[in-house]
Structure 1
Amino acid sequence: MNLAQHPLFVSLTPVFLLIALGYLAGRRGWIRDTAVKDLSNLVFLILIPALLFRTMASVHLEELDLRPVLAYFPVVLLVFFTVVAWRGFSRESVVVAMAGVFSNMVMIGITLAELAYGKPALVTMLTLVSVHAFILLSVGSVVLELVVAREARERGETTPPLWATLGSVIKGTVIHPIPLPILCGLLYAQTGWALPVVVDKPLQLLGSAFGPIALVLVGVSLARTPLAGHWRPALGVSLVKNLLLPLLVGLSAWGLGITGLPLTVMVVAAALPVGANVFLFAQRYDTAQALTTASMGLSTVLALFTLSVVMTAMAWLNPLAG
């Protein structure tokens, strides 16, 4: 089999070509800053909910394997809290720790999983996606609020109770364009009803548009990412995210007896570059914004090579996934 026909090449090439096209469009000014937010809203508020709902509307709970969640997130949280402890309890350390564990599962992972491993891979990927934002955004928000509260106490200011903050975080992460359509799709699937054609076809068309537009937007964002002055710390974050985390997740999954396609999807999900939600944290809490954007950009560029290495290794170590 020549290189052009190799499954890894066939699945990764479209992903990175679309990202490169978005990068070119961003650098040339074909997609202006004012349009990026509108395109992001199109992806997150219309296209991704359509894809998630339609995919999960055919998944029955008895067929859903929750072992990937049990293997993935304890490792992610262990790495997160280890980085926070190592760097010190501060806003910057929490945001940097989040960058080291928060994967770009939505804009890159979903499309890559389907291209590389087919629709069966989406069940495992979407199982992780369904709780990925909920768990990490909740934990990150609570820890950051604790940091902010400590800073306020040191200044002699009063702060709201932690339970109020926790309630607000949970509400915001459940009523969200990613977890909500997944939960709604799962609930609909339990009725045993098939989606009517007049509903299913528009959802299929919207879901098909998600992948290309999302990947082009990744490239546009990459074109606007400053790396100067932040190479060394960004490289450290990127290596933790792109290589260390998938290694630990793979060992955890193997320890729980997970094999075949679910194991490969979990490791690939962990090897994805830093997700955009981390920058929103940095922006909201006004800390490490330049380092966060540099880490996002560098980890995405490095993913051209690290994802190839991880996927090749998994094809060799876990041939059942093929």
Structure 2
Amino acid sequence: MQVVIDIIIPVFAIIIIGFVCGLTKIVSAESAKALNSYVLYVALPALLFYAVATAPIGELTNWDFLFANLIGILGSFIVTVFIMIFIFKKKTAELSIYGMNASYGTTGYMGLPLLIAAFGHDAALPAALATLIHNIPVIAIVIITFEWARAKNDVTSNNTFTFLKNVFKPVLFHPIMLSVLAGLIFSIFEIPLPNSLDIFASFLADAAGPTALFAIGLALVNQKGIISPSILTKKEVNTLIGMKLVFQPLLTIFLVLVVFDLEPIWALTTILMSALPIGAGTFVFAQKYNTLTKETSMGIVISLLIAIVTISILFVILINYYNLTVI
């Protein structure tokens, strides 16, 4: 119970403060977009770069950790796609958005701040790597799926170069990917960070967690009208929430406990990251491709409210199971 008071409550309290500030118009709810851009393009990349650049290269090739995360993500994605095909009779590129809802969590905006608040620098690297794994593969699948469908439908365009550019440019130039690649260069070649760059990156990294949490709360103000009694009967949304908050964590727990051999902090990071609510980034792609925007918004808000309870319970269980001490 003490860990809930010391770690969980302060983390979710920042989200609540963001919501209250937006609701009372102390901070404009429209500012959420600017804050999200700051986190995505500045603070979060700085945190990921710093964590990777200062890590020994051996820790970056923890294959059990990488595969445990990746299989958990893709497993939930693929199973959801099959459910949508065979039970809900869905088809075409929208299947990838369903899969993204079931496998893409708030790793950078909630997982990272929570783990670093609990375990400090020891959790920074596994949390950073997990964020990369949870982001890039799913984003790549969604982009490839929609660009492939667009290319097939556009009979006037046979430009392979344009297709490849539309697919790979957003992935390769994603701020998370660029920051990790930059960090890898420093780690692989054992380049010490100059003091000025060290201080610069660490300052920005420290701002990533609180700002991201505040932005989540602020963004909820614009979503407060979504929740209604009719949502509880919408089977598609309930299925996606169940896949994200129940199936993916259970699959990942099986992988961590039975299939792979992970050190305690890496195991806890893997499981906790899998249990996070549907990530806000999912809505960005739903909106970009004008697909399932309403269902995705519902899923994000409801899964976040549920996760406040489920994450708290899971976090306490994992800390006790692995006998870890919070800072």
Same fold judged by TM-score > 0.5?
yes
Matched, 1:284 2:288: yes
CA contact (8 A) 2:80 2:243 kept: no
Name the CA distance, whole Å, in 2 between partners of 1:34 and 1:316. 41
5+ residue gaps in structure 2? 86-90
AA at the equivalent of 2:255: S
Moved over 6 A (4+): none
CA contact (8 A) 2:18 2:215 kept: yes
1:41 lines up with 2:43 in the alignment: no
Work out whether 1:30 is the aligned partner of 2:32: no
Contact persistence 1:103–1:273 (CA under 8 A): yes
Q: Structure 2: how far apart are the matches of 1:191 and 1:149? A: 40
Distance 1:50 1:138, change over 3 A: same
Partner of 2:10: 14
Deviations 1:21-66 (A, max 9, x none): 1111222223324422222222222211222222222112123213
Q: Counterpart of 1:230 in 2: which secondary structure?
A: helix
Query: What is the aligned partner in structure 1 of residue 77 from structure 2?
Result: 80
Measure, in 2, the Cα distance between the counterparts of 1:76 and 1:108.
Answer: 17
Distance of aligned partners of 1:80 and 1:321 in 2 relative to their CA distance in 1, 3 Å threshold: farther
Evaluate the alpha carbon distance shift between residue 223 and residue 59 of structure 1 in structure 2; reply closer, same or farther with a 3 A threshold: same
Partners of 2:196 and 2:282 in 1: CA distance: 38
- Aligned equivalent of 2:323: 319
Q: Which residue pairs with 1:115 in the alignment?
A: 117
Indicate the SS of the match to 2:103.
Answer: coil
**2:262 is aligned with 1:261:** no
> Any idea what the Cα deviations from partners look like across 1:222-267, whole Å, max 9, x if unmatched?
2212223433443332222122211101211221222411111100
Give the Å deviation of 1:160: 4.8
CA distance in 1, matches of 2:192, 2:289: 44
The superposition leaves residues 197-238 of structure 1 with CA deviations (integer Å, 9 ceiling, x where unpaired) of 222222222211111111010011122122234334433322
TM score, norm. by length of structure 1: 0.89
Distance 1:196 1:274 in 2: 37
What amino acid sits opposite 1:86 in the alignment? I
Corresponding position of 2:145: 143
2:227 corresponds in structure 1 to 227
Tell me what 1:248 maps to. 251
Tell me by how many angstroms 1:71 deviates.
1.5
TM-score by length of 2: 0.87
Deviates further, 186-195 or 73-82: 186-195
Shift of 1:174: 1.9
Q: Secondary structure at the match of 1:272?
A: coil
1:213 alignment partner AA? T
Structure 1 residue identity aligned to 2:262? I
Aligned residues: 314
Q: 1:286 to 1:178 in 2, by over 3 A?
A: same
Which one of the candidate residues 148, 172, 175 is aligned to 2:173?
Answer: 175
The aligned amino acid for 1:61 is I
> Given the superposition, is the C-alpha separation of residues 159 and 181 from structure 1 closer, same or farther in structure 2, using an over 3 Å criterion?
same
Distance 2:82 2:104 in 1: 18
- Work out the CA distance in 1 between the residues paired with 2:263 and 2:324: 8
Contact 1:66 / 1:127 at 8 angstroms: preserved in 2?
no
User: Once structures 1 and 2 are overlaid, which stretch shifts more, 108-117 or 254-263?
Assistant: 254-263
Q: d(CA) in 2 for partners of 1:303 and 1:35?
A: 24
2:279 counterpart SS class = coil
